[in-house]
Amino acid sequence: MPMNEVARYAVFGNPIRHSKSPQIHAEFARQCEQSLQYRAVFVEMGLFSETARRFFEHGGQGINVTVPFKREAWEFAEVLSERARRAGAVNTLSLAADGKILGDNTDGIGLVRDMVANLGWTIRDNCVLLLGAGGAARGIVELLLRESPRCLQIVNRTSSRAEELATAFADLGPVSGGAYETLDGTRFDLVINATSASLGGELPPLPASLLTERSCCYDMMYAPEPTIFMRWAAQNTAWAVADGLGMLVEQAAESFYIWRGLRPQTGTVVAELRASMGGS
Ligand code: NDP
């Protein structure tokens, strides 16, 4: 990139209007005194590769990728990090010095950092329940297992997807997969909702007996008000409940680190976003 040119980054998605990534990265750049441009790009379905190629050809340095293009970004990348290879999804593309396009996945590290470093929750030696087996779940299983939980159980509406996901990561730790009906009295220390059910105001079929008074519950979705899953957790005496805003900022911070080699402070950014979202 020419010396006097501002580095250009973007988030690609469809829809993209409500993305908070431009606000997050503008704040990271301000904090770290980096001169860069970051914008949200609406990409037509079927045009991901073409749009991404054009972006890099015209001097773009990196792209964050959101729904529904993480799989296409995985296919587009010329070199994959190990975590992205296993996840089968890429949320961070970057241009290497040799001109190659690198694909990484920062969702898992973002979630684990938020739960462990920010919220002070413990995964190690605890029993973890993961709800959902879609793209987001696939991106976090490796990082969860690397924290050495006592067990990781994955349940999904389409149970075969949970079974497949567990099989794909079985070499990394004690993980099993199945249907909601298999939740028969087992209690979990940590329950992570990686379904999109909260988006539609729906709750997966969870028995109340799932939680203890020491359980922590995390909804990867975020909203101005507590989600239906968070309300369910609170009503069932969970010890701590959180939404996915911290994960959003942490996964962005990891992307920023990949691109710029600098680690921004995330706490103030989460607080600013929370305030700008309103809610009671
Ligand atoms: P996908 O569409 O890939 O997967 C959706 C998952 O939700 C599937 O497992 C699906 O089950 C399940 N599901 C959908 N509706 C219901 C329901 N009513 N009851 C039970 N299960 C249901 O979505 P993603 O994995 O990409 O995203 C999931 C969530 O994670 C979203 O809310 C997204 O906003 C959030 N997310 C948050 C991030 C953050 O930074 N905070 C980052 C990435 C995602 P089935 O397989 O049977 O269809």
Mark whether 20 is an active-site residue: no
Residues 77 and 124 in one domain: no
117 C-alpha to ligand 1 centroid (Å): 24
Residues 81 and 113 in one domain: no
Q: Is the pLDDT of residue 137 over 80?
A: yes
SS3 label, residue 95: strand
Residues 219 and 253 in one domain: no
Q: Is the pLDDT of residue 280 over 70?
A: no
Of 198 and 242, more confident: 242
Residues 23 and 45 in one domain: yes
Give me the CATH number covering residue 48.
3.40.50.10860
Cα dist. 227→15, 29, 116, 214 in Å? 21, 31, 21, 20
Residue 45 lies in a domain: yes
Residue 2 lies in a domain: no
Q: Is the pLDDT of residue 109 over 60?
A: yes
Residues 122 and 152 in one domain: yes
**Mean pLDDT on 79-85:** 96
**Mean pLDDT on 140-151:** 97
- The pLDDT, as a whole number, for residue 103 is 98
**Mean pLDDT on 154-158:** 98
97 C-alpha to ligand 1 centroid (Å): 35
Q: Is the pLDDT of residue 47 over 90?
A: yes
- The pLDDT, as a whole number, for residue 135 is 87
Residues 163 and 209 in one domain: yes
Residues 203 and 79 in one domain: no
Burial class (CB in 10 A: 0-12, 13-18, 19+), 181: exposed
Alpha-carbon distance of 81 to 193, in angstroms, equals 25
- The pLDDT, as a whole number, for residue 268 is 96
Q: Is the pLDDT of residue 279 over 70?
A: no
Residues 196 and 215 in one domain: yes
| pLDDT tens digits, 169-218 | 999 999 999 999 999 889 999 999 999 999 899 999 999 899 999 999 99
Residue 237 lies in a domain: yes
- Cβ 221 under 6 angstroms from ligand 1: yes
83 C-alpha to ligand 1 centroid (Å): 20
Of 152 and 199, more confident: 152
- Cβ 108 under 6 angstroms from ligand 1: no
Mean of per-residue pLDDT scores for the chain: 95
Residues 199 and 115 in one domain: yes
Of 121 and 209, more confident: 121
> What is the tally of structural domains in the chain?
2
Residues 127 and 238 in one domain: yes
Residues 139 and 230 in one domain: yes
- Cβ 156 under 6 angstroms from ligand 1: yes
Q: Is the pLDDT of residue 2 over 80?
A: no
Residues 11 and 125 in one domain: no
Helix (H) or strand (E) holding 28: helix 21-31
Determine which of 235-239, 241-245, 257-261 has the lowest per-residue pLDDT on average: 235-239
Please give the residue range of the domain that contains residue 217: 108-243
- The pLDDT, as a whole number, for residue 199 is 87
Q: Is the pLDDT of residue 3 over 60?
A: no
Q: Which of 99, 112, 14, 91 is nearest to 53 (CA)?
A: 99
